[in-house]
Amino acid sequence: MIEPVYSPLASRYDAMEYRRCGRSGIRIPVLSLGFWHNFGSHKPMQEVKAMAHHAFDKGICHFDLANNYGPEYGTAEENFGRLMDCSFRPYRDELFISSKAGWDMWPGPYGNWGSRKYLMASLDQSLRRMKLDYVDIFYSHRWDPETPIEETMQALVDIVRQGKALYVGLSRYPADKAREAFKYLKEHDVPCLLYQDRYNIIDRAPECHGLIDLSKENGSGFISFSPLQQGLLTGRYLNGIPADSRMARGTSLREDVLTPAMLGALKGLNKVAEGRGQSLAQMALSWLLNDSRVTSVIIGASSVAQIEDDLKALDNHSFSAEETRLIEELSAPVQLKEVK
């Protein structure tokens, strides 16, 4: 059977909200889609396509990738290249696409961390896999304690000068290093567009370390990853561990986080969500969107139905004082305040 050519919905920008990234000309959707877990070689291309098409049809025009997303490493970017060929090429200028380097990618001394050699080579590889001439934003994926920060930052600056990325971002930098990096980038006329960190009802580390305010003070947007704490902040684990869940796959979400205290907190939070007429996932996303310092949240999803459920968070992202109080009280025993 010949597949029909993808044609995005004409209404795609009608219901989405777009927020400005710090002091920049760029606005991105408040919900972005991440390709970390469910877009690699183990996922049938039909499902990858269905999720990406659905997201774009609903105004999610920011896709977040990295060199090692898969599994297998690189295969999420390869599948993104296939999406470019079969669907998105005519819409390239409507898309905001990221990639990153900083974690392990290939063996030997040049396939990890923050050297100029690694960042430059990795971006070239990412562009080839994604079949792109440039990415919209390229991130240093984590701070490297052994490479001088000037080397990593100058590589980012030069990547922009080479036209391989339009903007740059930082992810998972300790606050003092983020401050240095923001300063270096600003002084070299390539200001940081987005600072990316894990932030959600349970993981409060970036708030505690002042990174959200620091991003704002430095003219950078703040984008939250794992807004659902990898699926914990959804209905997924309230009644056991489903066989098709991330926790059951045992990759990045371990069973031992589901302690009695965690389960108690999740059940309580779910009641608050029900009272708001929301799913727990929707309330967790709404909680982030209620904070105007948060530019966007990057959701992961394993199905179109999850993306659809998550999109409904946009319908109500304000909270009464009582709802806020309950969320704080219920989440307090399981809140994480240190970087993990």
Ligand X SMILES: NC(=O)c1ccc[n+]([C@@H]2O[C@H](COP(=O)([O-])OP(=O)(O)OC[C@H]3O[C@@H](n4cnc5c(N)ncnc54)[C@H](OP(=O)(O)O)[C@@H]3O)[C@@H](O)[C@H]2O)c1
Q: Which residues bind ligand X (CB under 6 A)?
A: 34-38, 64, 141, 171-172, 196, 225-231, 234-236, 245-246, 281, 298-302, 306, 309-310
Best CA proximity match to 62, nearest among 143, 6, 141, 136: 136
CB closer to ligand X, 181 vs 325: 181
Q: Which residue has the tokens 């408040």?
A: 30
Asked whether the beta carbons of 24 and 291 are under 8 A apart, the reply is no
| Cα angle: 132, vertex 136, 140; to 5 degrees | 105
CB closer to ligand X, 5 vs 243: 243
Minimum Å gap between C-beta 83 and ligand X is: 15
CB closer to ligand X, 3 vs 143: 143
* Joined tokens for residue 77: 């970017």
Minimum Å gap between C-beta 3 and ligand X is: 26
Distance of CA 211 to the CA centre of its chain: 16
Best CA proximity match to 220, nearest among 194, 190, 184: 194
Minimum Å gap between C-beta 282 and ligand X is: 7
CB closer to ligand X, 137 vs 301: 301
Asked whether the beta carbons of 301 and 33 are under 8 A apart, the reply is yes
Minimum Å gap between C-beta 203 and ligand X is: 10
| Cα angle: 61, vertex 63, 64; to 5 degrees | 150
Minimum Å gap between C-beta 310 and ligand X is: 5
- Give whole-number Cα distances, 264 to 205, 238, 334, in Å: 21, 9, 10
Minimum Å gap between C-beta 14 and ligand X is: 21
Measured CA to CA, the distance from residue 198 to residue 181 in angstroms comes to 19
Helix (H, G, I), strand (E, B) or coil at 168: strand
CB closer to ligand X, 234 vs 331: 234
Q: Which residue has the tokens 């003092």?
A: 176
* 175 burial via Cβ count (<10 Å: 0-12, 13-18, 19+): middle
Measured CA to CA, the distance from residue 326 to residue 272 in angstroms comes to 8
CB closer to ligand X, 299 vs 327: 299
Minimum Å gap between C-beta 49 and ligand X is: 17
CB closer to ligand X, 126 vs 230: 230
